[in-house]
Amino acid sequence: MKILVSGSHGLIGKALISSLTREGNEVLRLVRRERIVGSPEVEWDPTRGSIDGQHLEGVDAVVHLAGESIAEGRWDHKKKRRIRESRVQGTKLLTDSLVRLTRPPGIFLSASAIGFYGNRGDEILTETSNKGNDFLSDVCADWENATQPAIGKGIRVVNLRFGVILSTAGGALTKMLPPFRMGIGGRVGSGQQWMSWIALEDVIDAIEFALATDSLTGPVNIVAPNPVRNAAFTKELGAALSRPTLFPIPAFGARLAFGEMADALLLSSQRVDPARLKEHRFEFKYPTLNSALSHALRKE
């Protein structure tokens, strides 16, 4: 297939492009800088609303992963605006461009997140669960809604609701490792909040599964089938590193250090079930936290 990928320099994008290329697909990168003539790139600038539409012609599928990092920096007004605009405006620009093509792609996979569900305690969340009522919930809902015009054009759209991705190449785990390796890691808040995680390798397999599975449409939870509470995650990570986990971070400490982001990313409870993937018999390579952490740490 000829596949366009945005967010190609991110954790998922780099691993996905490597896998797609290895399997013989032709991959184009959606880039924000000026396109190098003759290169497999398509230029765009979401902030200015511009995109090189002529180089989108002939693409079979699009995997849209681009978006401002939510875990870097405090969430002041400007940061929250960048988080929203990079997702919603960027997705709208790309969607509108795809539907105007002479031959639109047959498949459009667009990133989203389990932040859609908000803080839900012990409730088991599937793709049919209602959205939450916080900032990230609203962003995710608008992000997904921006893909709707593609559905009307007959493009198969899948909204990839990513959980916490475990990899030592980037993401949440790399931020956790330094304090845990020093033996000063611990649970956050009460430790009773649910964490829905997934190994990076299973993320890539799930994306490629979605590309190949014609019956898969709409929101799909990209998480492992065994979420754990934060306290259990802390214990497993400490055990994997052979380190104690005796230094909990109280909720007020997390809020003092990270502001609003602490409630959304560290203290929020999301017990998410990958119902659609299980329904379509997707096979996880690393379905348990122990297997996922052991694999990730071996790859360092």
The superfamily in CATH containing domain 2-298 is NAD(P)-binding Rossmann-like Domain (3.40.50.720)
pLDDT at 71 (0 to 100): 86
**Residue 37 pLDDT exceeds 80:** no
What the block records as the tokens of 261 is 């982001």
| Whole-prediction pTM | 0.95
- Dihedral in degrees, nearest 10, Cα atoms 91, 163, 1, 46: 20
Report the alpha-carbon distance of residue 87 to residue 110 in Å, rounded. Answer: 10
pLDDT digits (tens, 9 = 90+) for 87-115: 999 999 999 999 999 999 999 999 999 99
For residue 51, the model assigns a pLDDT of 93
Q: Give burial (CB, 10 Å; 0-12/13-18/19+) of 121.
A: exposed
114-163: pLDDT as tens digits: 999 999 999 999 999 999 999 999 999 999 999 999 999 999 999 999 99
CA angle 116, 70, 135 (to 5 degrees): 40
Contact criterion met (CB below 8 Å) for 60 and 3: yes
- Enumerate the domain spans of the chain: 2-298
- Listed in sequence order, the residues at least 6 apart from 3 whose beta carbon sits closer than 8 Å to its beta carbon are 20, 25, 26, 27, 28, 59, 60, 61, 62, 63, 211
User: 3-state class of 107 per DSSP?
Assistant: strand
Question: What confidence tens digit (pLDDT) does each residue in 172-202 have?
Answer: 999 999 999 999 999 999 999 999 999 999 9
pLDDT tens for residues 232-257? 999 999 999 999 999 999 999 999 88
Q: Is the pLDDT confidence value at 300 over 80?
A: no
90-119: b (≥16 Cβ within 10 Å) or e: bbbbbbebbbebeebbebbbbbbbbbbbbb
